[in-house]
Amino acid sequence: MKKILANIIFIFLLILTLGLGKWFSQKFENEKIHDTKVLVYPLDKNFIQVNEIKKMINYKDSILGHIDISQLENQLKKNRFVARAEVYKDLNNNVYAYVEQFTPIARVMGDKSYYIDSQANKRPLSDHYTENVILVFGNPNEKKIQDIYHLIEKINADVFLKEKITEIHLNNQGNYLLKAMDFKPEIYFGDIKNIQKKLNKLKTILLFLKKNHLSNKYVKIDLSFDNQIVCKRIKN
């Protein structure tokens, strides 16, 4: 008898809990949104501003239950400055949006200017923020963008080269020229083959020139040969 009574009480409490939960849920969903709160990160970038995001999700005084979170996230992701977006609602009738900006690795300076991001995608320039990244001069096609992306990946993996290489020039033959900060010589990289081998040679010669105070004594470094580095010195 006690067991049956205990089961009845348990079932009653379960039904009561579910009923209250449903009631609170419906009450919550039928209330108006109090505020929309936005966090845009990384905080040191400013491709897109908080006010721009707020305009896209300005649902203040709307009914909370009418907000489609998935649709709102997809809307934010369509913005070309946004790499990732998450939206949720809290118990205080607020809508929160966390927006991650894209990470640029290069800025192309050609007939059209744009960024290449960390996923090898083309991204637009911003009207109110400029990222300090490697400059790429020329008009690369989609294949060249992929090649440039892999080249910059290798450059950025080396602390010394990441600090020194500031420009990549794509010439009419489809070959690459590099410029290094604090070094005078033009660096002929050639085609995209053997990237790591060429960069290892480049690092070796740049460190040699720096150590021996010869950074401004050469006008060209040629990395296109397999087993040697060809350097052209300034004539005295």
For the stretch 57-114, pLDDT in tens is: 765 545 555 567 788 888 888 889 999 999 887 777 777 889 999 999 999 999 999 9
Alpha-carbon gap, residue 131 to 149, rounded angstroms: 16
Given a cut of 90, whether residue 116 has pLDDT beyond it is yes
Alpha-carbon gap, residue 57 to 43, rounded angstroms: 20
What is the reported pLDDT for 58? 64
Provide the pLDDT confidence category of residue 18 given band limits of 50, 70 and 90: very low
For the purposes of burial, counting CB atoms within 10 Å of the CB of 221, is it exposed (0-12), middle (13-18) or buried (19 or more)? buried
What is the reported pLDDT for 33? 64
Window from 2-16, 37-51, 192-206 with minimum mean pLDDT: 2-16
Mean pLDDT (the chain, rounded): 83
Given a cut of 90, whether residue 218 has pLDDT beyond it is no
Q: Which residue has the higher pLDDT, 6 or 23?
A: 6
Residue ranges of the chain that CATH labels 3.10.20.310: 35-101
For the purposes of burial, counting CB atoms within 10 Å of the CB of 108, is it exposed (0-12), middle (13-18) or buried (19 or more)? buried
Provide the pLDDT confidence category of residue 5 given band limits of 50, 70 and 90: very low
Share of the chain above pLDDT 70, in %: 81
Is 104-233 CATH 3.40.50.11690? yes
Given a cut of 50, whether residue 10 has pLDDT beyond it is no
What is the reported pLDDT for 182? 92
Residue ranges of the chain that CATH labels 3.40.50.11690: 104-233
What is the reported pLDDT for 233? 84
Given a cut of 50, whether residue 236 has pLDDT beyond it is yes
Neighbours of 79 (CB within 10 A): 18
- The angle subtended at Cα 49 by Cα 43 and Cα 55, nearest 5°, is 140
**Most confidently modeled range among 53-57, 86-90, 206-210:** 206-210
Assign a CATH topology to domain 35-101. Ubiquitin-like (UB roll) (3.10.20)
